[in-house]
Structure 1
Amino acid sequence: MSKVPTTVITGFLGAGKTTLIRHLLQNARGRRLALVINEFGDVGVDGELVKGCNDAACPEEDIVELANGCICCTVADDFLPTMQKLLDRPNPPEHIIIETSGLALPKPLVKAFQWPDIRTRATVDGVVALIDADAVAAGRFATDEAALAAARAADPSLDHESPLEELFEDQLACADMVVLNKTDLVDAEVLAAVQDQIAGETRPGVKIVRADHGAVDIGALLGITAAAEDDLDTRPSHHDVDPDHDHDDFESFVVKGGEPTGSNALLAALAALIAEHDILRVKGMVAVEGRPARLVIQAVGPRIQHYFDRAWKPDEIRLSQLVVIGQKGLDRAAISAALAPILAGQPAGAQA
């Protein structure tokens, strides 16, 4: 029996993984796909954004959300049983796509495909790392060399690599293909520099594909036939020596509300809070008073995207929920105090 190919899509917070998957589903070319989505946070946002993209390619029963923690930390409890259920179906999917959370290490997930119950039935067709070209160009994942030199001089024993840098490097080191996304936000010279930087952190032979809004041909992403589980030794990780991996360096929380009277005050408050508290990621849905459709908020660093995606269903509660993700030490009280009144619909300056 042939193995079901599986593509692992990894990438940092806000790189555009969900947008890429939406594009794949909308251009599936008749393939039956299954989707496993893992999020870091208490509210599933990504799953909601892909449901209904192409019901023929991936009906809702083939979209599985794992929200009990990072997929690389809960392999035995969550991921393996999910894979077994998909593979045990009378009509199993032709291809499985796994979207990891932006905080997941891809290598432990790939290693799970060596488990006896999975190894003979599924294979890692490829690991695709999505990179936000604009964020990298802005230095979000690079250490300031002058500051590093000063820190080393002050404390030679200091570990100079931050958790974000290690995570970024691990995702690139495990990749079979890198998608340099959001290329529309940088000019040609900057994009070339970013691509050179990324090429220096990937294994020999790894292809780098440029993309705008995750628009990559499905034929390029699926069918890599890497069998990644068979060559783990070529995919170095910062955690090879110390396999214990947790997310004590990161935290997330949810701010809930009702129906704000508009979006301007909310967007302005988010911009200010992101800058003040160095928030890594904000995502969620907002029920704007008087608007029939959901307002989707997607923020990475200082860049905030917002759009109305679909109408609220008759049986849905019009509830606003925003997931806030950052490094440990976020001032939850201050952030919540600033957002909660706006989400509750209380007057807060000029609103749209």
Structure 2
Amino acid sequence: MRKPIPITVLTGYLGSGKTTLVNRLLADPQGLRIAVIVNDIGEINIDAALISEKGHASITDDSLVALTNGCICCTLRTDLITQIVRLAKADCFDYILIEASGICEPLPIAQSIAMLDGTMKDQGLPTLCRLDSVVTVVDAYRLLTEFSGGEALLYPDGEADIAQLLVEQIEFCDLVLLNKTDLLSEEETAKVEAIVKALQPSAQIRQTSFADVPSKDILNLRLFDFSKTFLSAGWAQTIEHEQDEEEIHDHHEAEHHGHGENHDGHHHDHDEHQHLDEYGISTFVYYRRRPFHDDRLEAWVNRFPAQVIRCKGLVWIDGEDDTSFLLEQAGKSVSVQPFSRWLAAASPKEREQAWQRDPLSRNNWDEQAGDRMTKLVFIGADMDEAAICASLDKCLA
């Protein structure tokens, strides 16, 4: 029986060096017959043309597939799966490279491939493919400018800050290629690597220039595990590591201070954070069991601390006792949107059912507040943790 064909997904913002990397991999295929799927949001797939021009892959022999006029993370997801199935069944290739459009989010692409695998298993059919790894190519110079220079880089239509996308591409991956490091000093490169490590502690990081990376360092790495990659972002790991300490602290707070008084954000000075501390990169969690005053929170968001690179978490807003809100920030892009229903707003029966499905969720229950809380992870450079917490406390109702 033929083994599932491995797939590597390459993501990264426009101009990061993805196409250059694809051409280098095709020039040194390690004996593999590699097919390439290239996505471009425009009518003309420039990246596919650049790959074809190098002569390593061609549309005429089916080794190069161009998907245009949309993103494979949304409008072209079905087209992507169709092409993966076709290439896998053709039995002409040993490997599939997917070069995503520069504005693609990697998570939906991985979900599509995982769903294909699940569908085949459910139907009792042999698995056609396996996602080997998600590789994010990062323009190190742009990342330093975005998060250290304070300048927001915008999409052409001026509507959305690309910082959010840059962060999401880094947070959901197995390997980060820090490209264009030749444009930075050693100290600047080290700072960029520290930023990436804070955003994505679990990913491998490789520094390079001109996307000059050996194929053996990209192909057949067997790094991808959906659940691990999904939970590997820095903000998610910080929340997870905070949980045990939070429960212990809550117990003592209940004994000494009573309901409604919560601890300030915690900062963890573990050995693995020494490299981050050297460049002023730190993380902490702001956790309160009191709601925010809506107008005060809005005013605070509008003057978001410039030192914060990434902030994400749930927010409790006064008067919104049924609905939790998701606060999400990257660079200068900040949003506060309705997220889900608080379990406290459910019936006792629904609550018990939820606790049976997820027993650990009972640990978040407070006799008066229920599961309502604000829990925000902050990742930043040279942050004044005490000042940020104090300014947020002034927004509490």
- Under a length normalisation based on structure 1, what TM-score does the superposition of the two structures give? 0.58
Residue 34 (structure 1) aligns with: 35
Whether 1:126 aligns to 2:122 is no
**Alpha-carbon distance between aligned partners in 1 of 2:161 and 2:232, rounded to the nearest angstrom:** 18
State the superposition RMSD in angstroms.
3.1
Residue ranges of structure 2 left out of the alignment (5+ in a row): 122-126, 153-158, 237-311, 314-324, 327-332, 334-397
Whether 1:221 aligns to 2:222 is no
The answer (yes or no) to whether the contact 2:57–2:63 under 8 Å persists in 1 is no
Q: Which has the higher contact order (CA 8 A, sep 6+)?
A: 1
Residue 210 (structure 1) aligns with: 207
The answer (yes or no) to whether the contact 1:141–1:168 under 8 Å persists in 2 is no
The answer (yes or no) to whether the contact 2:26–2:57 under 8 Å persists in 1 is no
Rg larger in structure:
2
Residue 195 (structure 1) aligns with: 193
Residue 111 (structure 2) aligns with: 111
Letter in 2 for 1:25: L
Q: Deviations over 1:9-32 (max 9, x none)?
A: 000111010001111111113210
Displacement of 1:51 in angstroms is 1.1
Sort the Cα spacing of 1:231 and 1:92 in 2 relative to 1 into closer, same or farther, 3 A: farther
**Within 5 Å, which residues of 2 pair with 1:75-154?**
75-89=76-90, 91-115=91-115, 116-117=118-119, 120-137=127-144, 139-140=145-146, 144=150
Residue 72 (structure 1) aligns with: 73
Q: Deviations over 1:182-239 (max 9, x none)?
A: 11111111111111111111132x1110111111011011121123345454256989
**Alpha-carbon distance between aligned partners in 2 of 1:27 and 1:15, rounded to the nearest angstrom:** 20
**Alpha-carbon distance between aligned partners in 2 of 1:199 and 1:189, rounded to the nearest angstrom:** 15
Displacement of 1:144 in angstroms is 3.4
Displacement of 1:63 in angstroms is 0.4
The answer (yes or no) to whether the contact 2:10–2:134 under 8 Å persists in 1 is yes
Sort the Cα spacing of 1:164 and 1:95 in 2 relative to 1 into closer, same or farther, 3 A: same
Displacement of 1:52 in angstroms is 4.9
Q: Deviations over 1:244-283 (max 9, x none)?
A: xxxxx9xxxxxxxxxxxxxxxxxxxxxxxxxxxxxxxxxx
The answer (yes or no) to whether the contact 1:25–1:54 under 8 Å persists in 2 is no
**Alpha-carbon distance between aligned partners in 2 of 1:84 and 1:162, rounded to the nearest angstrom:** 34
SS at match of 1:169: helix
Sort the Cα spacing of 1:190 and 1:60 in 2 relative to 1 into closer, same or farther, 3 A: farther
**Alpha-carbon distance between aligned partners in 2 of 1:28 and 1:58, rounded to the nearest angstrom:** 18
Sort the Cα spacing of 1:47 and 1:57 in 2 relative to 1 into closer, same or farther, 3 A: closer
Q: Deviations over 1:304-349 (max 9, x none)?
A: xxxxxxxxxxxxxxxxxxxxxxxxxxxxxxxxxxxxxxxxxxxxxx
Residue ranges of structure 1 left out of the alignment (5+ in a row): 148-160, 243-248, 250-352
The answer (yes or no) to whether the contact 2:134–2:224 under 8 Å persists in 1 is no
Displacement of 1:141 in angstroms is 5.2
**Alpha-carbon distance between aligned partners in 2 of 1:32 and 1:180, rounded to the nearest angstrom:** 27
- Number of aligned residue pairs: give it: 226
Residue 3 (structure 1) aligns with: 4
Letter in 2 for 1:105: E
Sort the Cα spacing of 1:104 and 1:76 in 2 relative to 1 into closer, same or farther, 3 A: closer
The answer (yes or no) to whether the contact 1:42–1:67 under 8 Å persists in 2 is yes
The answer (yes or no) to whether the contact 1:38–1:99 under 8 Å persists in 2 is yes
Letter in 1 for 2:171: A
The answer (yes or no) to whether the contact 2:77–2:109 under 8 Å persists in 1 is no
Displacement of 1:74 in angstroms is 2.6
SS at match of 1:61: coil
The answer (yes or no) to whether the contact 1:25–1:58 under 8 Å persists in 2 is no
Where is the helix percentage greater, Structure 1 or Structure 2?
A: 2
Letter in 2 for 1:213: F
**Alpha-carbon distance between aligned partners in 2 of 1:26 and 1:95, rounded to the nearest angstrom:** 14
Letter in 1 for 2:36: L
The answer (yes or no) to whether the contact 1:127–1:175 under 8 Å persists in 2 is yes
**Alpha-carbon distance between aligned partners in 1 of 2:92 and 2:227, rounded to the nearest angstrom:** 23
Displacement of 1:136 in angstroms is 1.6
Residue 270 (structure 1) aligns with: none
SS at match of 2:206: strand
Displacement of 1:59 in angstroms is 7.3
Sort the Cα spacing of 1:227 and 1:208 in 2 relative to 1 into closer, same or farther, 3 A: closer
Displacement of 1:163 in angstroms is 3.8
State, as a whole percentage, how many aligned pairs show the same letter. Answer: 30
Sort the Cα spacing of 1:75 and 1:44 in 2 relative to 1 into closer, same or farther, 3 A: closer
The answer (yes or no) to whether the contact 1:22–1:50 under 8 Å persists in 2 is yes
**Alpha-carbon distance between aligned partners in 1 of 2:56 and 2:14, rounded to the nearest angstrom:** 26
- Under a length normalisation based on structure 2, what TM-score does the superposition of the two structures give? 0.52
Residue 288 (structure 2) aligns with: none
The answer (yes or no) to whether the contact 1:111–1:232 under 8 Å persists in 2 is no
